[in-house]
């Protein structure tokens, strides 16, 4: 069984999170049973250019296998094509087998240079087949890397397949699904190279402002109205700046400029890592929208255009500081705080613990019980965080809560707060007894109470926000 095996992951910069996840899962799976992990070469921070080219030449030569991540046929795949060609040419020159495999979101992929190579879709079964081919079967070598990995470590193997599939689904959701979207094209393609040369001597921030100043903004009428008001026919960058400053929501444009500036090839790695895709929110007519950078496109190794989506958020922010800045009434602020804490209580404590114990018999084996204990302690850490966030004077007693939010269901509030200490004690005792049945019986009524409480908080919050809307 080979101890040394390395993989080159070829991907666009925008898909770096998927590449990181794939690298982490491959290294973890291959290290089980105390074996040496597969080494994965991932170019996370080096953009195309001389530095990237030397990195690519060195590591395609070292790699035993290349995995290409193909996420959208419309994107520019020049750099990935260079990596594949370099890897394939080097192996063939040495008369070695060129082991190239690739994922694609397209059900009928069209990438001519890979027509004869092993192809995988992004479904969970395809990901599992890929892991089996790479580790369990001798698909890419004379002997398998880890011949019984899926049998000896079935849970870890299946979890890895689910995680990779989930990340594929997350990053391949097209931004076109969002109705409110804006594409900023920095220049016409024919004049782009000339403009890039003209701005090249400037510092990255000034260069970004130079590209954006003359950019073409493409948006439908609804997006234009959101960004600049109902009387604007078309947008340009200066119009957008003036409108957002008039609405006191220009921070996201500064952050967008910073994102573009830190995407140039000559910025340092720390600056590139500082980029944030989720920008400061836009608050208009008591509605909240979250600008998100959905795609950054390159041409000749220089940012060429950027696509933003504007995600409609709940009718009020769940950040108390932002709500106070927006002059939201105090009762709505506390409703928001409680709703967020109730959600966290359900999704990071109740649900994970209940799902872990559901279907488990009282004669559970030691391995499954250890897994449950690990989940229990993770949930307790989440609960400590929730309790710290709720530790404020206005939420100390049932009377304080009623005064802050004015929910009329006294019985539910009293039951929840009166039984809170008993609930914690019973849960700890059930764990101490090693009784999955008692754990389930303790959690089930709290799942119902939590659901009822969240529903009342949401209805009350939305009702009060509606009263604030201008007629």
pLDDT computed for residue 123 by the predictor: 85
Task: Classify 194 as helix, strand or coil.
Answer: helix
Average pLDDT over residues 317-338: 71
pLDDT digit string (tens) for 403-445?
Answer: 767 676 777 877 777 788 889 999 999 999 999 999 999 999 8
pLDDT-based confidence at 319, cuts 50/70/90?
A: low
Q: What is the distance between the alpha carbons of residues 195 and 186, in angstroms, rounded to a whole number?
A: 9
- Considering the chain, what is the average pLDDT of its residues? 82
Give the residue ranges of DSSP H helices in 390-409: 398-405
pLDDT computed for residue 471 by the predictor: 38
pLDDT digit string (tens) for 84-130?
Answer: 999 989 998 998 888 888 888 765 556 666 767 888 888 889 999 99
Lowest mean pLDDT among 216-220, 275-279, 292-296, 465-469: 465-469
pLDDT computed for residue 390 by the predictor: 77
pLDDT computed for residue 1 by the predictor: 41
Q: Which one is predicted more confidently, 343 or 58? A: 58
Contact 101, 67 (CB under 8 A): yes
Q: In what order do the strands lie in the sheet with 39-42?
A: 39-42, 6-10, 65-70, 100-104, 118-120
Most confident of 43-57, 246-260, 316-330: 246-260
Q: Which one is predicted more confidently, 350 or 457? A: 350
**pLDDT of residue 328 exceeding 60:** yes
Average pLDDT over residues 148-157: 91
Task: With residue 272 as reference, give the H or E element that holds it.
Answer: helix 269-273
pLDDT computed for residue 314 by the predictor: 63
Q: In what order do the strands lie in the sheet with 302-312?
A: 216-219, 181-185, 302-312, 287-299, 282-284
pLDDT-based confidence at 469, cuts 50/70/90?
A: low
pLDDT computed for residue 457 by the predictor: 81
**pLDDT of residue 379 exceeding 80:** yes
pLDDT computed for residue 163 by the predictor: 85
DSSP secondary structure of 342-357: HHHHIIIIIHHHHHHH
Q: What is the distance between the alpha carbons of residues 236 and 239, in angstroms, rounded to a whole number?
A: 5
pLDDT digit string (tens) for 228-273?
Answer: 888 777 888 998 999 998 888 888 999 999 999 999 988 988 888 7
Quote the tokens at residue 153: 């470590």
pLDDT-based confidence at 135, cuts 50/70/90?
A: very high
pLDDT computed for residue 452 by the predictor: 84
Lowest mean pLDDT among 45-49, 165-169, 307-311: 45-49
Ramachandran sector of residue 303 (left: φ over 0; alpha: ψ -120 to 50; beta: rest):
beta
């Amino acid at each position: 069984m080979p101890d040394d095996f390395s993989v080159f992951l070829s991907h666009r910069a925008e898909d770096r999170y998927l590449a990181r996840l794939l690298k982490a899962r491959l290294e973890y799976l291959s290290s089980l049973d105390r074996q040496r992990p597969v080494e994965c070469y991932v170019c996370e921070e080096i953009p195309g250019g001389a530095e990237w080219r030397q990195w690519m030449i060195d590591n395609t030569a070292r790699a035993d296998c290349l995995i290409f991540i193909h996420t959208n046929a419309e994107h520019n795949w020049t750099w990935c094509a260079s990596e594949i060609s370099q890897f394939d040419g080097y192996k063939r020159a040495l008369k070695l087998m060129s082991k190239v495999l690739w994922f694609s979101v397209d059900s009928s992929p069209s990438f001519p240079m890979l027509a004869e190579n092993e192809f995988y879709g992004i479904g969970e079964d395809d990901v599992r087949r890929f892991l089996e081919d790479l580790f369990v079967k001798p698909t890419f070598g004379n002997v398998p890397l880890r011949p019984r990995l899926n049998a000896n470590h079935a849970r870890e193997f299946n979890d890895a397949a689910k995680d990779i599939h989930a990340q594929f689904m997350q990053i391949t959701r097209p931004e076109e699904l969002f109705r409110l979207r804006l594409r900023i094209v920095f220049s016409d393609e024919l004049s782009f190279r000339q403009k890039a040369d003209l701005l090249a001597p400037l510092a990255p921030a000034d260069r970004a402002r130079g590209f954006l100043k003359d950019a073409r903004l493409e948006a439908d009428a609804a997006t234009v109205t959101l960004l600049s008001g109902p009387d604007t026919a078309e947008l340009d960058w200066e119009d957008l700046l003036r409108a957002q400053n008039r609405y006191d929501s220009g921070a996201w444009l500064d952050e967008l400029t910073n994102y573009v500036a830190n995407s140039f090839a000559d910025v340092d790695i720390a600056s590139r890592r500082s980029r944030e895709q989720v920008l400061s929110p836009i608050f208009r007519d008591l509605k909240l929208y979250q600008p998100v950078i959905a795609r950054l496109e390159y041409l000749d190794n220089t940012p060429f255009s950027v696509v933003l989506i504007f995600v409609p958020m709940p009718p009020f922010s769940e950040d108390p500081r932002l709500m106070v800045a927006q002059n939201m009434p105090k009762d709505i602020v506390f409703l928001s705080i409680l709703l967020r804490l109730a959600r966290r209580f359900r999704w990071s404590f109740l649900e994970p613990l209940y799902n872990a114990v559901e279907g488990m018999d009282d004669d559970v084996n030691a391995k499954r019980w250890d897994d449950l204990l690990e989940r229990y302690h993770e949930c307790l850490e989440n609960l400590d965080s929730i309790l710290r966030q709720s530790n404020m004077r206005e939420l100390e007693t049932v009377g304080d809560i009623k005064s802050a939010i004015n929910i009329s269901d006294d019985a539910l509030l009293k039951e929840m707060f009166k039984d809170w200490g008993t609930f914690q004690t019973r849960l700890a005792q059930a764990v101490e007894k090693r009784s999955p049945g008692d754990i389930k019986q303790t959690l089930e009524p709290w799942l119902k109470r939590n659901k009822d409480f969240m529903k009342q908080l949401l209805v009350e919050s939305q009702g009060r926000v509606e009263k604030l809307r201008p007629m």
